[in-house]
Structure 1
Amino acid sequence: MKREKKGKAVVVGGSIGGVSCAHALVAAGWEVLVLEKSAAPPTGSPTGAGLGLDPLAQRLIDSWVGATHLLRDATVPLTIDLNQATDGEKKVSWTLTRDENFNFRAAHWADLHSLLYNALPPSIFLWGHLFLSLCTSGENAGIKIKAKVLQTNETVEIAGDLLVAADGCLSSIRKIFLPDLKLRYSGYCAWRGVLDFSDNENSEIITGLQKAYPDLGKCLYFDLGYRTHVVLYELPNKRMNWIWYVGQPEPQIQRNSVTTKVSRDMIEAMLKEAEKVWAPELVKVMKATKEPFINIIYDCEPPEQVFWGNLVLVGDAAHPTTPHGVRSTNMSLLDAAVLGKCLEKWGAENLHSALEEYQSIRVPVTTKQVLHSRRMGRIKQGLVLPDRRAFDPMTASPGECEELQHKNMPFFSHVPAIVESLARCS
């Protein structure tokens, strides 16, 4: 069908979800403008951390950046999904479950963002632009956005046919349309860090860790203690990513962010507690890590609606999720791909139909995945669930341990029909 109109989309949010939407919409033939409050593209990330990409996400990224080797060079394979238990007193560990057909790849957030960003025209990005408000007159009347240019304090108005809200789990746009939808604190936070050992890969710290966790370099480790757990895996360029989930009262959000820097005293207290729970080889990695930080873990009840007129929510703005199902980034990438294909199918002149189809495809999937991720987090953290006793890795049965595996995630290997050809050919 010949399209009579080329649509213009304004994407609010220049993180991985927003950049992925830009790729998908450009591929669909849309004009795209991305607004991001950060002053410039990230060249590194002091609080950046690792993420896992599933096979479909890998194929989507390859199709957007145009060369398979670029993603492979920027990631390391995670072929094993392993859950083990550690006895904090005896400092001994044993395997609970092991899946050797995992087929994920690990990336550093900043590396993946740079890969996606560098494959787009820089002219489509407006850095240092803070979203203020929006005005819409109906489905076919377009949308107007006001934003503040942070460098000058000037307010500018930007018009488009579609607003894509990719402004994260604290989305200010979601609050406009779903004011009663509140974030749900999980009951625990995560200490996170990335240890760069590129200058000292044969050090006692690294060789000791590799002995304690012999499958590092190809394995996603979940190490479970009593009512706590750690995640550990290697990133490209000799970096080790670790995450330690600690139960505590909900901290106060600072600077509109779910991550926060910490004091030296807080770090020292954390390390003392780690010595009580984890193997000394892992604690040494935590001690050697520069600038660990705290990530407050939230999700929310999955919304039934993610579009209104010519506005649509994607990624963490649509479905904040806990990280235990390795879903957040993968859901954002697939949101972008499905949105792009729906817009390409229906065209700008049938925007409502495109967004309605997008919602009908994604909401049933993301709803189940958010709730399953929540359940996985509560199991691994040893928290109570309504239908089962709290998980104790020291006494868990084989059947209980089977719930720990990522392959149990709903729609784990599902490819939506609307993007199947794209995934198959890429």
Structure 2
Amino acid sequence: MERQEEETEKPTKPKAKAVIVGGSVAGLSCAHALISAGWDVVVVEKSSAPPTGTPTGAGLGLGPSARKQIGAWLGRAQRLHDATLPLAVDQNNATDGEKKVSRVLTRDEEFNFRAAHWTELHGLLRKELPPSVVLWGHVFLSFSLSDNKAEVKVKTKVLKTNDTIEITGNLLVAADGCLSSIRQSFLPDLKLRYSGYCAWRGVLDFSGRENSEAILGIKKAYPDLGKCLYFDLGLGTHSVLYELLNKRLNWIWYINQPEPELKGNSVTMKVSSEMIQEMHREAEKVWLPELARIMKETKEPFINVIYDCDPLEQIFWDNVVLVGDAAHPTTPHGLRSTNMSISDAAVLGLCLKKWGLENLHSALCEYQSLRLPVISKQVLHSRQLGRIKQGLPVVGWERFDPMTSGREECLELQQRNMPFFDEAPLPEDSSI
């Protein structure tokens, strides 16, 4: 009898539940972080199936803290290590397109990043989640808060059946990218800022042709491929080159141009064969012949239109919180987008674990107070770095010319100048 009374005095406490909108790296990272904090999670993703190898997911660089966090989520850091290549060197070159010569501007041999392919990183994170967590083929439609702000209802459309369903949780996590519709509901007047340039991107798979003329040529021109992040700077333009695992070369070329007209909810632009051929002709004029050839031999290159926005003043409202590109649209020049998203997820998870569902507002306040100073400075630094490399006006700078600029100016190009480059603050009484 006494035992029965004891049992009735301890009712089962309901588990906190989060609905995460967006199943990219930011959304999956949040799923891991919140599960680690003791929450139930559901990820709503409009894609009908996990990505396999689409060209729109290209290369990225992971810093030490992001790798440490991913390793903790995966349970074994070696798995991430085995899926990446080192970026031990950060090197900036000046390239004279007319003379076809290049010289080193800066070289940092203690860079300590690793190169990953977006699709493979996504796969690592996805496969370590319970299969039921991600709802593929569910298009986010809208959300509403209960009167007491204790619950959020998310309405989605199931693509397979065309049915509309509602999912209820205690927290809505907006991981729906730089064009976030959830953010738009709170900040309807917010507009993204066009950077002034677009990026041609591509990944060349050279497996089976390691001894081809193109690959032998690029390895000779860039001898540290496989461990180096190369930036080539021309007059008013720059490119990026590094190697990915499984014999692939990732390249990016930034070109100043008027803002193109985008169709649909994407910053990736469809390209025609005529546009690709024109890009090849221009590359031969601007870059070393070895790099231009790699661009020419890459199948299905694509264009990203580069945007960011001025740092937000807040990134949560009631029980709705922004993470990843929804919280900080940023240009890609500091290798920050993915790294910031992983840190967002980690800090959010630690804050929720520290404060508990009963103190959700305090948890989100601390998350915001920790992340806003970091992401604000990183967004603005990345913006400035891109404008310098593209020869665009920068307050306090003369227009940058890689062929004539002095050593002090060139040192500003190094990635390690990024604010919070090594570590970002965590909640008190917590650690990753």
Shorter-chain TM-score: which interval? over 0.9
Would the aligned equivalents of 1:11 and 1:165 in 2 still touch at CA under 8 Å? yes
| Whole-angstrom CA distance in 1 between matches of 2:62 and 2:116 | 8
| Whole-angstrom CA distance in 1 between matches of 2:431 and 2:424 | 10
Per the normalisation by structure 1, the TM-score is 0.97
Residue in structure 2 matched with residue 390 of structure 1 by the alignment: 399
Residue in structure 2 matched with residue 266 of structure 1 by the alignment: 275
Residue in structure 2 matched with residue 400 of structure 1 by the alignment: 409
Residue in structure 1 matched with residue 58 of structure 2 by the alignment: 49
Aligned in 2, Cα 1:195/1:419: closer, same or farther, shift over 3 Å? Answer: farther
Q: What's the CA shift string for 1:44-63, capped at 9, x where partnerless?
A: 22322100000000000000
Residue in structure 2 matched with residue 92 of structure 1 by the alignment: 101
Would the aligned equivalents of 1:60 and 1:422 in 2 still touch at CA under 8 Å? no
| Whole-angstrom CA distance in 2 between matches of 1:224 and 1:75 | 26
Letter in 2 for 1:250: E
SS at the partner of 2:132? helix
Residue in structure 2 matched with residue 417 of structure 1 by the alignment: 426
Q: Which runs of 5+ in 1 are unaligned?
A: none
Aligned residues: 422
Aligned partner of 1:16 among 7, 18, 25: 25
CA apart distance, 1:140: 4.4
CA apart distance, 1:141: 2.3
CA apart distance, 1:421: 5.9
| Whole-angstrom CA distance in 2 between matches of 1:46 and 1:381 | 25
Tell me the percent identity: 68
Letter in 1 for 2:405: A
Letter in 1 for 2:191: K
Aligned partner of 1:182 among 173, 186, 191: 191
SS at the partner of 1:134? strand
Aligned partner of 1:7 among 16, 25, 33: 16
Letter in 2 for 1:381: Q
Residue in structure 1 matched with residue 91 of structure 2 by the alignment: 82
Would the aligned equivalents of 2:55 and 2:301 in 1 still touch at CA under 8 Å? no
Q: What's the CA shift string for 1:210-267, capped at 9, x where partnerless?
A: 1111111100001000000000000000000000000111111122110123111000
Q: Does 1:256 align with 2:265?
A: yes
Would the aligned equivalents of 1:40 and 1:127 in 2 still touch at CA under 8 Å? yes
Aligned partner of 2:291 among 282, 287, 293: 282
CA apart distance, 1:6: 2.2
Would the aligned equivalents of 2:105 and 2:410 in 1 still touch at CA under 8 Å? yes
5 Å matches for 1:320-339? 320-339=329-348
5 Å matches for 1:18-417? 18-137=27-146, 140-417=149-426
Give the 4+ runs in structure 1 shifted more than 3 A.
419-423
CA apart distance, 1:73: 1.0
Per the normalisation by structure 2, the TM-score is 0.96
Higher radius of gyration, 1 or 2: 2
Q: Which runs of 5+ in 2 are unaligned?
A: 1-11
Letter in 1 for 2:136: W
CA apart distance, 1:13: 0.1
Q: What's the CA shift string for 1:100-123, capped at 9, x where partnerless?
A: 000000000000000000010110
